[in-house]
């Protein structure tokens, strides 16, 4: 059975073009013209989407608010979201990505580029098979989007948790600053790369006693080494 992709776009021509190309890639594409309709389809347990293409300028509930709602819901918080919009300022891109979008593409756009980005975000999603990381002091529950240090819950923003989980899934390996920007902010991000260093600093501060889990590799990027260099383990609950 084809995987379902949800297109939330009020421009009929654009929606039809995206639908046609997604179906050419083997998806069963569904179109919603309003934010409210899109939310209802995204939460349809009988036909949950594996991907959401989201316009920002929607009648009723706008795309930013819809993205925020989708990231709050347990059922949809891990579904890849690609924002598709005419709003192209750096502030708009940062706002969308910080809300939890996986990528951001501006109109007018190349359908071939959009399909390449669809494949990229789905590859990243497929890589996320582990359910949890723990090393005796730090626990990261990838499925439940939660981290604890010495049994105390660590309150992280969506972007901070995505940054932590991206590093933890590649533990022991150096992840370059550009790779982190690509995977956490989306490769359409063209802002100041120093935002990554700011997020890392805040993440370490929030992790408190477990902040030593992230090692700086000067001039290259960062490496996840576990709290107190513990020999952490990943737990996969998949049968």
Q: What DSSP assignment string belongs to the chain?
A: -PPEEEEE-S-HHHHHHHHHHHHHTT-EEEEESSHHHHHHHHT-TTS--SEEEEESS-SSS-HHHHHHHHHHSTTTTTS-EEEEES---HHHHHHHHHTT-SEEEESS--HHHHHHHHHHHHHHHHH----EEE-SSEEEETTTTEEEETTEEE---HHHHHHHHHHHHTTTSEEEHHHHIIIII-TT--S-THHHHHHHHHHHHHHGGGGGGEEEETTTEEEE--GGG---EEE----
Asked if the model's pLDDT at residue 226 lies above 50, the reply is yes
Q: What is the pLDDT of residues 65-117, one digit of tens each?
A: 999 899 888 889 889 999 988 776 777 777 777 777 888 888 888 888 899 88
Asked if the model's pLDDT at residue 236 lies above 50, the reply is no
pTM for this one? 0.59
Q: Looking at residues 158-172, what average pLDDT do you find?
A: 90
């Amino acid at each position: 059975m084809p995987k379902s992709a949800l297109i939330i776009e009020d421009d009929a021509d654009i929606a039809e073009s995206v639908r046609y190309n997604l179906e050419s890639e083997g998806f069963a594409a569904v179109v919603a013209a309003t934010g409210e309709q899109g939310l209802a389809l995204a939460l349809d347990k009988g036909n949950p989407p594996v991907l959401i293409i989201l316009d920002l300028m929607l009648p009723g509930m706008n795309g930013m608010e819809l993205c925020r709602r989708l990231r709050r819901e347990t059922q949809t918080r891990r579904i890849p979201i690609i924002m598709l919009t005419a709003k192209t300022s750096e502030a708009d891109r940062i706002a969308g990505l910080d809300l939890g979008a996986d990528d951001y593409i501006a109109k007018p756009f190349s359908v071939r580029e959009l399909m390449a980005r669809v494949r990229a975000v789905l590859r990243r999603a497929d890589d996320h098979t582990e359910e949890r990381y723990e090393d005796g002091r730090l626990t990261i529950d990838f499925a439940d989007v939660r981290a604890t240090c010495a049994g105390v819950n660590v309150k992280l923003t969506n972007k901070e948790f995505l940054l932590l989980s991206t590093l933890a899934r590649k533990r022991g390996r150096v992840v370059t600053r550009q790779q982190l920007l690509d995977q956490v902010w989306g490769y359409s991000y063209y802002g100041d790369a120093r935002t990554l260093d700011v997020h890392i600093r805040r993440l370490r501060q929030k992790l408190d006693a477990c902040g030593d889990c992230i090692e700086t590799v000067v001039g290259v990027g960062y490496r996840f080494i576990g709290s107190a260099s513990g020999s952490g383990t990943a737990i996969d609950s998949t049968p």
